[in-house]
Amino acid sequence: MKETPLSNCERRFLLRAIEERKRLDGRQTYDYRNIKITFGTDYGCCVVELGKTRVLGQVSCELVSPKLNRATEGILFFNLELSQMAAPAFEPGRQSDLLVKLNRLLERCLRNSKCIDTESLCVVAGEKVWQIRVDLHLLNHDGNIIDAASIAAIVALCHFRRPDVSVQGNEVTLYTPEERDPVPLSIHHMPVCVSFAFFQQGTFLLVDPSEREERVMDGLLVIAMNKHREICTIQSSGGIMLLNEQVLRCSKIAGVKVAEITELIQKALENDRKARKEGGKFGFAESIANQRITAFKMEKALVDTSDVEEKAEEIIAEAEPPPEVVSNPVLWTPGTAQIGEGIENSWGDLEDSEKEDEDEGGSDEAIVVGSVRADAGIEACSVGSQGGWSQRFLLPYVVYKHVSYIYSYTYM
């Protein structure tokens, strides 16, 4: 992962704001960003938005052979992917240190904490068990990936339904959702990660750091806890030394935040269950607002057209009649004309140099420019004068590569 380093000015600005207890998004020190949970059409699909950080969670299952040392337990597998779609700094096709650390933290938080009853995933001991796979895709990166990923993982697991099976002897029958209702997973508790960022060697503390705050932090403390205030895992990174009082203070804050997040998750699951049962909008269609162009339908607005004709007649009656005067064309010279009060046409006027030539008298000799003589191919334009008729012939421009020749002929 190659991030663009912050300039010294930006770093000083962020640290100065943290010292003054101010955050760029207007939050307080212990405030979490808004959490939004959206479910997909199929069971086990959800999108969690933590501020601008978005994570897509998808759960799938299949029947596999169990592990040799755990013949009666199912398999739980987690996979988090960081693509360039989320942030340009992520390198495709390569597992970075950040990705390895996040995957291990998710496994300790959800699998090692025994939040799911893996023994209930056993179909035939030693032969067939369910393998539950949780795929997490980071859609947009704005800081605190682990909290958003842990929420998406537990929400997707709670929302998932596996197919029902029956066993008769050695024969295993797998039923489709149309034949039998899918079976939810047996979940004991819901662990959620809460991240704390420390600055200036633990002097200042922030909850739910954003992407820019993570760049200037000195250390990070992640506490995974359930609503019963049971710590599932705890991890400190960054190489800072924390006191016992600081860790206890963070655990108390995490207990409050986890209780709020768990209540939000339960409400979202209950609303989705009711919507599916009543046949209303559920899944991603529920999150589409009617005011957007992507809405399925728009409410019709009634327009009163009863008195349109009367209003039109009133507007026409009050309007001023159009002028009846029609402008006559003004003929300045042959081939030109002027209509209306526009700018006066001066095509027929003589230039100063032309008037001087006319006063001094013309010459019947042709003017030769270069080595070419103008004898033919001219067009006459007659202009009246007091001393007589003078004809002036203007030849077009003749361009030979880089040289322009101008011919003029004057006859008195």
Q: Between the CA atoms of 394, 400, 401 and 404, what dihedral angle is there, to the nearest 10 degrees?
A: -40
Whether 369 maps to a domain, the answer reads no
How many domains, in total, are found in the chain? 1
> Per-residue pLDDT averaged across 298-323, rounded?
74
> Per-residue pLDDT averaged across 215-231, rounded?
92
| Per-residue model confidence (pLDDT) at position 321 | 73
Alpha carbon distances (Å) from 203 to 15, 249, 252 = 12, 13, 18
Say if residues 66 and 74 touch (Cβ distance below 8 Å). Answer: yes
> Per-residue pLDDT averaged across 285-312, rounded?
63
Tell how far CA 140 is from the center of its chain: 9
Whether 295 maps to a domain, the answer reads no
Whether 241 maps to a domain, the answer reads yes
Whether 168 maps to a domain, the answer reads yes
With a cut of 70, say whether residue 402 has pLDDT above it: no
d(CA 221, CA 89): 23
> Per-residue pLDDT averaged across 272-288, rounded?
73
> Per-residue pLDDT averaged across 233-240, rounded?
87
Per-residue pLDDT band at 358 (split at 50, 70, 90) = low
Q: Please provide the average confidence, as pLDDT, over all residues in the chain.
A: 78
Whether 142 maps to a domain, the answer reads yes
pTM higher than 0.85 for the full model?
no
Whether 402 maps to a domain, the answer reads no
Per-residue pLDDT band at 208 (split at 50, 70, 90) = very high
Per-residue pLDDT band at 258 (split at 50, 70, 90) = very high
CATH number at residue 56: 3.30.230.70
More confident residue, 105 or 317: 105
| Per-residue model confidence (pLDDT) at position 403 | 39
Whether 355 maps to a domain, the answer reads no
Whether 270 maps to a domain, the answer reads yes
- Residue 294 C-beta-side C-alpha neighbours within 13 Å: 6
Q: Which residue has the tokens 């992520």?
A: 90
Tell how far CA 339 is from the center of its chain: 56
Domain with 116 in it: 31-280
d(CA 73, CA 65): 10
